[in-house]
Structure 1
Amino acid sequence: MPSPAVGVRERLASRAGLIATCLVLSVVLAVSVVVAIGLGAAVVPPEQTARYLWAAFSGGRVGAEEAATYQIIWQIRTPRVLLAAVVGAGLSTVGVTIQALVRNPLADPFVLGVSSGASVGAVAVTVTGGLAVLGVYAVSAGAFAGALAASLLVYAASSSRGELSPLRLVLTGVALGLGFQALMSVIIYFAPDSEATSTVLYWTMGGFGAATWGALPLVASAVLLCTAVLYRHARALDVLALGDETARSLGIDPDRYRRSLLVLVSLVTGVMVAVSGAIGFVGLVMPHLVRMVAGAVHARVLAVAPPAGAVFMVWVDLASRTLVAPREMPLGTITALVGVPVFITLIRRRAYIFGGR
């Protein structure tokens, strides 16, 4: 039997490894952000990019001959790259939570129909011209309203006598998601404006082309708050992943936790989808990759998943705007091309099971 001192050393070593992993990912994220901001149609060296960013944050001056490049870096690329990092972190975090809540390794943030509901809202606003008073934020507002309505419908349809069964939740989400997709197709089919239809179809595949500084604070605040709350309930997620009977035997009400966390992740997913469109596979694949490194304990997974997802999304966004420049590839296309082979490779590994090795 190992001595208490050995157990303490193992815990310290494990905690040190987790801290080291998070620090490494944070450095990689910072470097990735600077590199991604500098790359594009007009390439700016990393040291010059860092100088522009420092001037913007510190209130420094930039020469008149550099004003155009500075505007590209600060007003166009920086909010886009930062928004990509925030959304990537949020999708990874929410993916970890959803898989624990429904005890399904194939679940992701969009399995509950939130993405499809947001798409219907965005399509309706674009085609009908509704919410025009909100200007450039009309589509985002419509998408968030659709996501919120979808979440409420899924919750109302899957709840029975105050109980929220994981299986019923998944099946209801999938069914309503298909219904929302059908409704979106009908709206697009009868849309009189082909340009609006093209815009909507591109939006439903995801992208950060419309990123602005105005949208960043709300999304970042929502993701940070969600991550903090979920990290605080990491122990409950560990127990929920073991099953409802086990949770009850340990003094945790699975229905109450599932209900409250479902509301939280649905709202955050709606906020992210409203500014980025529907980006698949990030919330599905990233939790599995993180578990291979950090293990199955949710306190560790929720510490590693946000920076890992942020790094991944920053590079995916960079690829989307540089591979076929000057055109942009939809983010959903790239995440699917990357996610499908990675996920198939994971599930074919005999040593890998859901939640660890």
Structure 2
Amino acid sequence: MKHNFGAGPCILPAKVLDQAADAVRNFNGLGLSILEISHRTPEFEAVMKETQDLVRELLRVPEGYSILFLQGGASTQFSMLAMNFLHQEKKAAYLDCGYFSQKAIKEALLFGQVNIVASSKDKGYNYIPLGYEIPEDSAYFHYTSNNTIEGTEMFSFPPTTVPVICDMSSDIFSRMVNVADFDLIYAGAQKNMGPAGMTLVVVKDTLLEHIQRQVPSMSDYRIYRDNGSLFNTPPVFSIYVAMLNLRWLKEKGGVKTIETENIAKAALLYEEIDRNPLFYGLADPDHRSRMNVTFKMYEPAMEQEFLDFASTRGIVGVKGYRSVGGFRASLYNALPISSVEILVSCMSDFEKEKLNKEVELAQNESL
């Protein structure tokens, strides 16, 4: 059995994988694969509607918001949102709290001016900035709620009167949020929703009235809203698997239930990191992510040895991001706590093995 801690694409429930595999062979008894059917058929229109309804129900999306399914991942949203909402006479406010914040800022600068209201770059992005001000004349305020590379997460959001835009790619559906506090939420699917290829956008309809410049059709949120995300061929398979995954989440009891599980999983792993003398956490304890746990070893030379040791237990996907190193364990919704228990046990056993070798070496030297 494999225990998949990969940061993305995400682990999916076995039930969802089985259903998706069946649909690839024969979708709804049509004798056609889900990969073959037209997005204009009543069968797929039903998939689209159910997926939108599940998003609305699970996130408790209030009236006055549209649910859109786009392509290009969250990275396309970095430029698309600036193209739509960053006007020449205003600056956009950005919180710089990691790698993906930097990417979003870089794209926004192509369309206007950016005001970085705070940054945690001074400490390698190991914390979330606090105590900053958002200028009231900002076009919008943008931040990333969870940082997959650095392992930090925002658990409270600053009040402001300007439109709030949030990249929730790696923690959406993992915890309860008040959607009414946001004007636009976007998230790539490949963390907690489904396979790569689809991006969810939850946008307040009144925000779309603020678009002033001419925007290419494929980058205009209004086009997707007015066409029910069917302006062009959507990522059919990704949307279908997201529907299955959201069904699974609803059957489990919804976001509140999974949040409780996610808290328990993260607490278990952080407890072992803090206890085990071989490892240390990278993120400030007050800002530790529940989704992406980043940690290293005090002896870097041991890290590959631990990865090899972990692989014998079926543990995959724990190698850290290339620019950070060390380890990263992603605890997305579908990862069971039993897999976290296996990882914790592996870390403890590795510690014991090293201690035993040290004792044996000391004994040999004393002879």
**What TM-score comes out, normalization by structure 1 length?**
0.25
Higher relative contact order (CA 8 A, sep 6+): 1
| Greater helix share, structure number | 1
| Greater strand share, structure number | 2
